[in-house]
């Protein structure tokens, strides 16, 4: 018996990479506006199907840890706002649109002790302050302490992270049914991330999870990571300031949003926002970074024959 090993299908390139030569600058906007008043840095941004955007901000109003959500037009001008009591830091959220109404999925605290956080779903209602016991807030999976949440509606998965670097992935169907069956799990500290870094946000585009880090005080590098949660392999770990060029001369670029998005033709990209300082003034900048998927390997030829029928 003769055996051969076909190696033509083996590829050394990662499954996904970032096209750092095709960074697109979507625009800039100021923190403060006459419509919503003076507010802090934007923590996260989600685009809507009509060209508008929703963003989040941490209010840190005393002991309430409220979150402000702001609706922007297609040019990032703020149009309206709502406040969610005990909404947390606002470091990540996602939007599910139902009959033209944006429903926000985010981690919120159950009460003013801030000891338990839950995956919550609630409508965006301009001009309101939504109390923690508001009947419009639907609550699902809960966790002691702080929680990070990302939804992948395209593939039907949910990511839940804790403050210790652990990430858990379950299906959206299980979440809605109250069956919190963890399908995949990993820890960010297994991929070169260190405790000295400042975690910012994450996004789930199954089977890939992307997250970024970097403090406004510049004590740590601005980093962007990608991991395949199915086999646990790392796709990349890139320095946002050294491995790519955003063509700015800002004194500070603090990473905030990293959000997986798709265009009308199915091409994927990462939406990035930065909290920037220029000559002592603040400005929010928005970019997109295309995601490149590795081509499939050539199909192997399995129709080979052997003339020696005695083997």
Q: How far apart are the first and last CA of the chain?
A: 5
Spatial CA neighbour of 187 closest among 213, 210, 208, 161: 161
CA distances from 134 to 47, 65, 109, 131, 288 (A): 25, 16, 13, 5, 35
Please check the confidence at residue 299 and state whether its pLDDT lies above 70: no
Which helix (DSSP H) or strand (DSSP E) does residue 177 occupy? helix 172-177
Q: What is the pLDDT of residue 185?
A: 98
Q: What is the pLDDT of residue 31?
A: 85
> Average pLDDT of 221-250?
96
Round to whole Å and give the CA distance between 158 and 167.
Answer: 10
Please check the confidence at residue 189 and state whether its pLDDT lies above 70: yes
Asked if residue 64 belongs to a domain, the reply is: yes
Predicted confidence band at 263 (pLDDT cuts at 50, 70, 90)? Answer: very high
Asked if residue 230 belongs to a domain, the reply is: yes
Please check the confidence at residue 303 and state whether its pLDDT lies above 60: no
- Residues of the chain with pLDDT > 90: what percent? 81
Round to whole Å and give the CA distance between 311 and 309.
Answer: 6
Asked if residue 254 belongs to a domain, the reply is: no
Asked if residue 157 belongs to a domain, the reply is: yes
Predicted confidence band at 266 (pLDDT cuts at 50, 70, 90)? Answer: very high
Are 229 and 217 a contacting pair, CB within 8 Å? no
> Average pLDDT of 208-220?
96
Predicted confidence band at 309 (pLDDT cuts at 50, 70, 90)? Answer: very low
Q: Is 190 helix (H, G, I), strand (E, B) or coil?
A: helix
Q: Is the preceding omega at residue 234 within 30 degrees of 0, hence cis?
A: no
Asked if residue 11 belongs to a domain, the reply is: no
pLDDT tens for 30-68 read 987 877 877 789 999 999 999 999 999 998 766 668 999
Round to whole Å and give the CA distance between 235 and 73.
Answer: 34
Q: What value does the mean pLDDT of the chain take?
A: 91
Q: List the beta bridge partners of residue 270.
A: 260, 289
Please check the confidence at residue 166 and state whether its pLDDT lies above 60: yes
Predicted confidence band at 9 (pLDDT cuts at 50, 70, 90)? Answer: low
Q: What is the pLDDT of residue 13?
A: 72
Tally of domains in the chain: 1
Predicted confidence band at 310 (pLDDT cuts at 50, 70, 90)? Answer: very low
> Average pLDDT of 80-106?
95
Range of the domain at 76: 43-241
Q: Is 92 helix (H, G, I), strand (E, B) or coil?
A: coil
Asked if residue 85 belongs to a domain, the reply is: yes
Asked if residue 89 belongs to a domain, the reply is: yes
Asked if residue 235 belongs to a domain, the reply is: yes
């Amino acid at each position: 018996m003769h055996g051969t090993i076909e190696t033509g299908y083996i590829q050394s390139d990662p499954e996904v990479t970032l096209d750092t030569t095709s960074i697109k600058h979507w625009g800039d906007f100021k923190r403060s506006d006459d419509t919503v008043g003076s507010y802090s840095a934007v923590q996260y941004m989600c685009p809507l199907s009509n060209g508008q955007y929703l963003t989040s901000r941490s209010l840190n109003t005393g002991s309430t840890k409220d979150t402000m959500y702001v609706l922007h037009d297609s040019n990032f001008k703020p149009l309206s706002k709502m406040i969610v009591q005990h909404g947390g830091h606002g470091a990540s959220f996602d939007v599910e649109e139902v009959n033209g109404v944006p429903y926000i999925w985010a981690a919120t605290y159950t009460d003013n002790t801030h000891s338990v956080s839950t995956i919550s779903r609630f409508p965006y209602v301009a001009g309101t302050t939504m109390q923690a016991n508001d009947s419009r807030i639907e609550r699902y999976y809960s966790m002691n302490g702080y929680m990070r949440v990302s939804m992948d509606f395209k593939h039907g998965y949910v990511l839940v992270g804790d403050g210790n670097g652990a990430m858990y992935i379950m299906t959206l169907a299980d979440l809605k049914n109250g069956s919190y069956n963890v399908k995949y799990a990993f820890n960010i500290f297994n991929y070169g991330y260190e405790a000295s870094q400042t975690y910012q946000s994450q996004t789930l585009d199954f089977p890939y999870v992307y997250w970024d880090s970097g403090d406004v005080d510049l004590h740590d590098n601005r980093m962007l990571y990608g991991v395949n949660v199915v086999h646990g392999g790392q796709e990349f770990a890139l320095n946002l300031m050294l491995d790519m060029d955003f063509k700015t001369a800002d004194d500070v670029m603090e990473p905030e949003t990293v959000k997986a998005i798709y265009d009308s033709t199915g091409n994927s990209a990462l939406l990035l926002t930065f909290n920037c300082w220029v000559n002592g003034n603040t400005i929010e900048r928005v970019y997109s970074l295309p995601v490149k998927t590795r081509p499939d390997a050539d199909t192997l030829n399995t129709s080979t024959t052997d003339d020696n029928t005695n083997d």
